[in-house]
Structure 1
Amino acid sequence: MTLFETRSITVSIARPAAEVYAFAHRPESFPKWADGLGAGLTRDGDRWIAQGPDGDVHVRFSPENAYGVLDHWVTLPDRTELSIPLRVVANGDGAEVTLTLFRVPGMDDATFQRDQGMVARDLAALKALLER
C-alpha cells in the first residue's frame, strides 16, 4: 500500500457555507481566486484547460452536489493525474474551506513547501473575495 505525505490547508470564511459553495463550485469562478488553476481556464467539453508552467493541463471538476465537495483532477502534460480534494463545510454561520495537498513522488521539500504556500494564498484570496 502506498500512502503519500499530505498537508491540509484550511481557511475560515465568514459567509454561510452554502454561499461559499455556490460561488466556488463553478469552474468560471476559479480564475478569480485560484492562481494555480486559473491561468487561461477555458472549457473543453466536460473538461477545462488551464495553462501550466510546462504546457496545458486538463482539469475535471466534481459535479455540483449537496455535500460541499469541490474535488478536481488535474492531468499534467505528461499524463500524470493529480487528485485535489477540496471541501466546504459549515462552521456555525460561516464556512471552513479545506484543500488536501498530496506530496507526489519525487517532489522535494522546497517544492512541497512552495505548493503549500500557493494553496494558502489561493484560499486567502477566496476568503477576501467572499468577505468583501
Structure 2
Amino acid sequence: MFEAKTVSVTINRPMQEVYRFVHEPMNLPAWAKSFCLSVAKKGDDWIVETEDGRAKIRFVEDNPHGVLDHFVTVGAGAELLNPMRVIHNGPGCEVMFTLFRLPEISEENFMLDAAMIATDLQLLKETLEL
C-alpha cells in the first residue's frame, strides 16, 4: 500500500456548481495552475501542457455523486489515478483530493506535491467564491 494524503477545501458554492466547473477540462488553467499551463482537445483526448511537458487527462464519466476522479498519462507512461470528490456541506461543499506517494517519490517531493494541491484547491475556492 502507498502512503496517502487527502487535501481538502471548503467552498461556499453549491456542490453541483463546483462539480460542473471542475469536471470541465477547459477550466483546469483557471484553478490547477501548479499542474496545467493550458489545455486543448485533440480528437477524443484532452491534452494538458505542464511544466514537464504534455500529459493526457481523462475524468470519469459525469455522475450525480460528486466523483471527480481523473487519470493522467505522461508521455507513453502509465495512466495514474487521481481520486477527487466534491460533497455537500450545508449550502456549500467540500472538495477533496487524495494524493498517493509512489515508491519513486521522495518524502520531500510528496509533501511539495501536497502543498501544490492545497494551493490549487485554494485557488479553486477563490475562483468560485467571487
What TM-score, normalized by structure 1, do the two folds share?
A: 0.92
CA distance in 1, matches of 2:112, 2:58: 23
Structure 2 unaligned spans of 5+: none
Which deviates more from structure 2 when the two are superposed, residues 37-46 or residues 7-16? 37-46
- How many equivalent residue pairs? 130
Alignment partner of 1:101: what SS? strand
- How do 1:86-105 and structure 2 match up within 5 A? 86-105=84-103
Aligned to 1:74: 72
Alignment partner of 2:63: what SS? coil
Structure with greater strand share of residues: 2
- Offset of residue 130 of structure 1: 0.8
- Offset of residue 105 of structure 1: 1.6
Q: Deviations over 1:17-70 (max 9, x none)?
A: 111112111111111000133212111233211123332111111121111111
CA distance in 2, matches of 1:52, 1:104: 20
Misfit runs of 4+, over 4 Å:
none
Are residue 118 (structure 1) and residue 86 (structure 2) matched?
A: no
Report if aligned partners of 1:46, 1:60 keep a CA contact under 8 Å in 2: no
What TM-score, normalized by structure 2, do the two folds share?
A: 0.93
What is the root-mean-square deviation of aligned Cα atoms in Å?
Answer: 1.3
Alignment partner of 1:38: what SS? coil
